[in-house]
Amino acid sequence: MTVSASAQESAEDSFRHIGLIYRDFDEYATGCASFLERALALGDPALVAVPGERGELIKERLGGRAADVVFRDMAVAGRNPGRIIPAVLLAFAEANPGRRVWIIGEPIWPGRSPLEYPACVAHEALINAAFSGRDAAILCPYDAIGLEPRAIDDAGTTHPEMWDGPDVWASPSYGDPVVTAVTFDWPLPPPPRQAAMFPFEGVGALAPLREFVAGWAEAAGLPEQRIPDLLIAVNELATNTAEHTGEPGTVWMWREDGLLVCQIDDVGQIDDPMVGRVPPPDSVGRGRGILIVNELADLVRVHRRSGGTSVRIHFELPAVAAQGL
């Protein structure tokens, strides 16, 4: 697999977002290396953010040239899809001002859970909004054998271009990225009957709410070093409820499939799908709550339901604690 002439001709377009279809690791490494070789030939900065050992496949194919590429493990940096745009992609672009950046990002791979999938697809769609007008090329590999067929179909809706074998073409199913992201705002299953509930109202209720969350997290087996992350995340969300809705909110907590889950329900509406994905300007002192939550949690699902918003955050439990489910 090599970059086609049509791909090279438009390689310096202001922004490109390409879905790469591969069927084995040889196609994977060859396609990714071809993309990176183009960046290195131009002297442009390049980043690879792929899960686990897949980065090693790309390094082996590049040989000594791999030293000029930044590598990150997407299974760690992108464990929560909501933090990939701000903490991985935009962070790399901001670290290279005035230069075209080339990025390989693989947010959807075999092993991602159905729980994570809608957040991953929404992320892929919103890349197009976050990078509109930026000087960047982003390549997203998709495993046509290991993923469900719908993942390949969905890639066509989130990528303006698709690449398979020698051909790169404009995706006929690509649409407005914000509209596409909204279609993956899937309803959340209701909290289970055994979930603990804590109603709160106003900033005066935040201290007892934090005590409730800390006590429940400790009992559920969340590692001690992660409890502050959970408390900060819940406090940010509950503060938003108290300050912006003027109405009561409800926190639910439970354990599920090896995860500690916390859901905050209120009557507020989050109209901007980019909230929590694009940092506000430094001159703006507010508006970072969900951005902070995305950075701290292992998964964040935001559902804009009729009459309000539900934000569900997930923290992975150690195996010993998860066995108590």
Residue 106: pLDDT over 80: yes
pLDDT at residue number 141: 98
Q: Name, in order, each residue with C-beta under 8 angstroms of 154's C-beta and a sequence gap of 6 or more.
A: 121, 124
pLDDT-derived band at 323, boundaries 50, 70, 90:
low
pLDDT, tens digit, for every residue of 258-310? 999 999 999 998 888 898 898 877 645 556 889 999 999 999 999 999 899 99
Percentage of the chain beyond pLDDT 90 is: 85
CATH number of 5-183: 3.40.50.300
Predicted confidence (pLDDT) per residue in 149-193, tens digit: 999 999 999 999 999 999 999 999 999 999 999 999 999 999 999
Mean pLDDT along residues 112-120 = 96
What pLDDT, in 10s, does the model give residues 140-151? 999 999 999 999
Domain residue ranges of the chain, discontinuous segments joined by +: 5-183, 196-322
Q: How confident is the model at residue 246 (pLDDT cuts 50, 70, 90)?
A: confident
Longest CA span, the chain: 63
Q: Which residue has the tokens 């279809």?
A: 21
Average pLDDT on 12-32 reads 93
- What's residue 308's pLDDT? 94
- Say what the pLDDT of residue 188 is: 94
Question: First CA to last CA across the chain, in angstroms?
Answer: 47
Domain 196-322: what homologous superfamily? Histidine kinase-like ATPase, C-terminal domain (3.30.565.10)
Instruction: Give me the pLDDT at residue 4, please.
Output: 44
- Enter the tokens of residue 25: 């690791």
